[in-house]
């Protein structure tokens, strides 16, 4: 049986060492170089900005807008749906898949972090890590300064209040806030 590469381990959600895999290093350099180029483009150059995001991300809808600055690790693990909007300073650590549905709106200074590190200090200081996917439904709105941690799913039509730290799944049709983020009310359709 063939030994798995560190990249294969990462994509399978297993413990891996990103420093041991040259292809992961090269993937990060390529992605971060494109992000740097994107962040340095004139804000007036909307078409080139859109084309660069399409090069960075795995899949996009036709209609999206990501304000500068934007950072991610690999890009190829990120998909965004139609009518995606992100305000300034979006950070996505995409060691695992990060999927955004359609009509997702993200306030400034938000982060989506799939990466985790072992609690065991010996493995952690060796640089080992693992990642769990994040999935965001349709019609979700994030206030500013929200952090979504690995393994979280957020259902359709929900609102995540500013400053929240989302550590567990959030169902559809709710308002959730806080650290840790908790549901405070259901959203009733008019």
| Extents of the domains making up the chain | 6-186
Going by the DSSP 8-state scheme, the letter that residue 70 receives in this structure is E
Instruction: Report the predicted TM-score, pTM, of the whole model to 2 decimal places.
Output: 0.95
**For 6-186, CATH number?**
2.160.10.10
Out of 58, 65, 88, 117, pick the active-site residue: 117
Closest by CA to 39, choosing from 25, 19, 53, 60, is 53
- 134 by Cβ neighbours in 10 Å (0-12 / 13-18 / 19+) ranks as buried
- Distance separating alpha carbons of residues 45 and 140, to the nearest angstrom: 28
Structure confidence at residue 171 (pLDDT): 98
62-97 pLDDT tens trace: 999 999 999 999 999 999 999 999 999 999 999 999
Whether residue 190 is predicted with pLDDT greater than 70 in this model: the reply is no
Mean pLDDT score, 132-143: 98
Whether residue 132 is predicted with pLDDT greater than 60 in this model: the reply is yes
Q: Is 65 a catalytic residue?
A: no
pLDDT band at 169; cut points 50, 70, 90:
very high
Buried b (16+ CB within 10 A) or exposed e, 148-176: bbbbbbbbebbbbbebbebeeebeebbeb
Whether residue 189 is predicted with pLDDT greater than 90 in this model: the reply is no
Whether residue 29 is predicted with pLDDT greater than 70 in this model: the reply is yes
């Amino acid at each position: 049986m063939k030994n798995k590469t560190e990249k294969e381990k990462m994509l399978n959600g297993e413990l891996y060492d990103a420093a041991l895999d040259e292809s992961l290093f090269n993937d990060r350099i390529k992605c971060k170089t494109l992000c740097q180029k994107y962040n340095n483009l004139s804000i007036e150059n909307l078409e080139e900005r859109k084309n660069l995001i399409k090069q960075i991300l795995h899949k996009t809808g036709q209609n999206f807008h990501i304000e500068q600055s934007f950072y991610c690790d690999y890009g190829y693990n990120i998909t965004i749906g139609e009518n995606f909007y992100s305000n300034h300073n979006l950070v996505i650590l995409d060691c695992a898949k990060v999927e955004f549905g359609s009509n997702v709106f993200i306030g400034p200074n938000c982060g989506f972090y799939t990466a985790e590190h072992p609690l065991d200090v010996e493995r952690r200081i060796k640089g080992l890590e693992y990642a769990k996917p994040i999935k965001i439904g349709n019609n979700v709105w994030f206030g500013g300064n929200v952090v979504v941690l690995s393994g979280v799913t957020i259902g359709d039509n929900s609102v995540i209040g500013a400053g929240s730290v989302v550590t567990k799944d959030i169902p559809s049709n709710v308002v959730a806030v806080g650290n840790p983020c908790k549901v405070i009310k259901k959203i009733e359709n008019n």
